Amino acid sequence: MIWFLIWIGTWLISFFLYAKRYTSNKVFYGFSFVQFFYLVATMPITALCLLNIGFDVTKNPEVINIPISTEVLLSFYILSILVGAIGGSIHASSTSLAEQLKNHIFLNAYSVNEEFHGPVSHDLIFLSITGVTLFLGLLGLNHPSAIPINPTLPLYGGIIIGLLNGLTVVRSTHVGLSLITSFFTTLFLGLIIQNSSLHLINYPFLVFAVVNAFVIFITLLISILIYFKSKRMTKIMVKIIFPKGHPIHQTFSIF
């Protein structure tokens, strides 16, 4: 539980710290203050928490609800964490470099850097979120808790993390991949729950995973519907989600 709380706390701090990205001029070792924090605090603490959460789940007695070994599930779970750490590192580095190149946007170096900042780092991070969610849920499925857990705890945890994840994806403006992966993750884990006679009080991480994926999907779906249906609501959404100084405010200033 302590690792779970540290994880949520770290993501909350990182999420709200993002508001300083475009207003802070502090630089540490070539990194902007926000990206430096992400690199030396957010990513390591998140990885540490997720690893310990996964290891704690596997300490529960194994019940073969799906015919996949713990070694395989844990390997893919750890791989997902590593992919996220790599994506986060690329994002912090490329974003900081972009700040130095913002007055030289016609250079080839700027274009290459933006490819790493945009599609590459974001897609790696969001694939990591999907992988962690999916394989944590499957680990929890094969390692149910010996002690009944109130389902509202993983439910609220899934809602909080899902909202943070979903809004982070919206902020990146790279919504498509996460919309697809969160939908299929929700569908897959949801079908497992529906087609089995599981007592959910013994499967807190399965509950957390499916709620997390579902909230991400709904958050992204709503943001897309707002974007295509209402210019007024889009302006409100942008004002609420995106921090002051974000370039997207200039895009929607014409409305």
Per-residue pLDDT tens digits for 55-65: 999 999 999 89
| Paired tokens of 59 | 């300490």
Q: Which of 81-85, 157-161, 194-198 has the lowest mean pLDDT?
A: 194-198
Per-residue pLDDT tens digits for 167-213: 989 988 788 889 999 999 999 999 998 888 888 899 999 999 999 99
Cα angle: 188, vertex 75, 9; to 5 degrees: 75
Q: What is the DSSP letter of 61?
A: P
Residue type, 195: N
Q: From residue 187, give the alpha-carbon distance in Å to each of 9, 78, 142, 184, 206.
A: 28, 23, 18, 5, 13
**231 or 186: which leads in pLDDT:** 186
DSSP for 144-205? Answer: --SS---THHHHHHHHHHHHHHHHHHHHHT--HHHHHHHHHHHHHHHHHHHTS---GGG-HH
Determine the pLDDT at residue 74.
96
Q: Could you give the CA distance from residue 213 to residue 178 in angstroms, rounded to a whole number?
A: 10
Cross-strand pairs, 32: 27
The mean of the pLDDT values for the chain is 86
Per-residue pLDDT tens digits for 113-151: 777 777 888 889 999 999 999 999 999 999 999 888 898
| Paired tokens of 210 | 């499916």
Q: From residue 32, give the alpha-carbon distance in Å to each of 24, 43, 82, 129, 167.
A: 8, 15, 23, 24, 22
The strand pair at 31-32 and 27-28 is best described as: antiparallel
Determine the pLDDT at residue 14.
84
The answer to whether the CB of 140 falls within 8 A of the CB of 54 is: no
Contacts of residue 59, defined as CB under 8 A and 6 or more positions apart, other chains included, come to 143
Question: So where are the chain's domains?
Answer: 2-254
Q: From residue 10, give the alpha-carbon distance in Å to each of 57, 84, 88.
A: 21, 15, 14
Q: Does 238 have pLDDT greater than 90?
A: no
Per-residue pLDDT tens digits for 86-117: 998 888 888 877 777 667 667 777 777 777 77
Mean pLDDT value of segment 43-50? 93
